[in-house]
Amino acid sequence: MEEKTIQRRDFLKFLVLGSVAAGGLRLARLTSASETGGSSPYRWGMVIDQDKCTGCGQCTLACRAHNDVPPEISWNRVLEAGKVGDKQVYLPRPCMHCEEAPCVDACMVGASYQRADGIVMMDYDKCIGCRYCEVACPYGARAFNWETFDGPNPAVPEWGQPEVERRPRGVVEKCSFCYQRIDRGLKLGLKPGVDEEATPACVVECPMGARKFGDLNDPESEVSILIKDHPYFQLREDLGTSPRVFYLPAREEAA
C-alpha cells in the first residue's frame, strides 16, 4: 500500500513538472513570436507584361543594388520562356508572394511569415538555415547564403543604393516586394505603384514599363485594371498557391 502511494505521488510530481516545462516553453514562445496578425487595407500585387519584356535584365540588377543581394544570388531572375512567332519571350520571376505560401507553412521557426498586406517576409534574425523552405517553394524563389557576402556589391552604385541590411551567412533570402520602399513611401504619403519612391525597384527600373505594381484591393489601381481587362496567368496555378504576381502573356499580333 505504502509503496503505491509513493508511486502515485511521484507520478503526480512527474506530471506537474512536465506541465510546468510545457507552460514555460509556451510562455517563452508568446513573448518572442513576431506578430504576423493585424489587418491592412492593402493587398500588394505585381503584373508583368510578357509582350513588353525584352529580357534586358535591368530589373535583376536594380534589385541587387537596392536590396544588397550578392552577385551569385538573384531574387528576381529573368528566364527564357519559349517563342511566340519569331519573338523570344521572357519570364521575369520575382517571389510570387503566394496567398497560400508553402514556405510559410514549412518554416519551423516562423522566420518566413506573411504580413497582413500579403507580402511574404523573411525574418533573418530568426532563420536557422534548415533550407526546408527552399525545398518547399515551387518557384525556386529562395536562395541560401552559402558564403558570407563581405565584398563590395558590383551593382552599387550604378543601379542604386542598398536600402536594407545585408544578410549573414547561413540564412535563406528572397524577394520582399521591396517592402522597405512601400513602408517608407506610405509613411511619406506616397502611393506604391504610382510614386517611384514607394514602388519596388524592379518596377521603377524596367525601361520597357513591363512591370506594374499596386494594390489589388483598390479596383482603380493599375494592376487591378490590367488583370480585369486582359487575359492573364499565374505560375503553377494548379498547385493552389494563388500567386500575387500576374503575367500578361505575349501575343502573336503584338510581336
- The half-sphere exposure of 45 on its side-chain side, counting CA atoms within 13 A, is 23
Count of residues in contact with other proteins, rule CB under 8 A: 60
Name the residue nearer to other proteins (CB basis): 169 or 207.
169
Q: Tell whether residue 6 is a contact of other proteins (CB under 8 A).
A: yes
- List binders of other proteins among 186-245 (CB under 8 A): 233, 235-236, 239-241
Residue 111 within binding range of other proteins, rule CB under 8 A: yes
Residue 109 interacting with other proteins (CB under 8 A)? yes
Beta carbon of residue 172, minimum distance to other proteins (angstroms, whole number):
8
> Which listed residue (12, 14, 157, 161) binds other proteins by CB under 8 A?
14
- Return the number of the residue (5 or 39) whose C-beta is nearest other proteins: 5
Question: Of 59, 63, 65, 107, which one interacts with other proteins (CB under 8 A)?
Answer: 107
Residue among 10 and 165 whose Cβ is closer to other proteins = 10
In angstroms, give the least distance from the CB of 238 to other proteins. 9
By CB under 8 A, tell whether 17 contacts other proteins. Answer: no
Backbone CA torsion sign across 113, 117, 118, 119: negative
Q: Return the number of the residue (91 or 190) whose C-beta is nearest other proteins.
A: 91
User: x-or-dash pattern for other proteins, window 27-46, by CB under 8 A?
Assistant: -xx--xx-------------
* C-alpha distance from residue 137 to each of 14, 157, 174 (Å): 42, 31, 11
CB closer to other proteins out of 208 and 239: 239
The label of the residue with cell 518596377 reads 203
Distance CA 180, CA 209 (A): 22
Interface residue with other proteins among 135, 188, 194, 255 (CB under 8 A) is: 135
Q: Which is nearer to other proteins, 169 or 254 (CB)?
A: 169
Smallest CA-to-CA distance from 123 within 115, 201, 135, 153 is with 115
Chain residues in the site for other proteins (CB under 8 A) = 2-3, 6-7, 10-11, 14, 25, 28-29, 32-33, 79, 81-82, 91, 93, 102, 104-111, 126-132, 134-140, 142-148, 168-172, 233, 235-236, 239-241, 247, 249
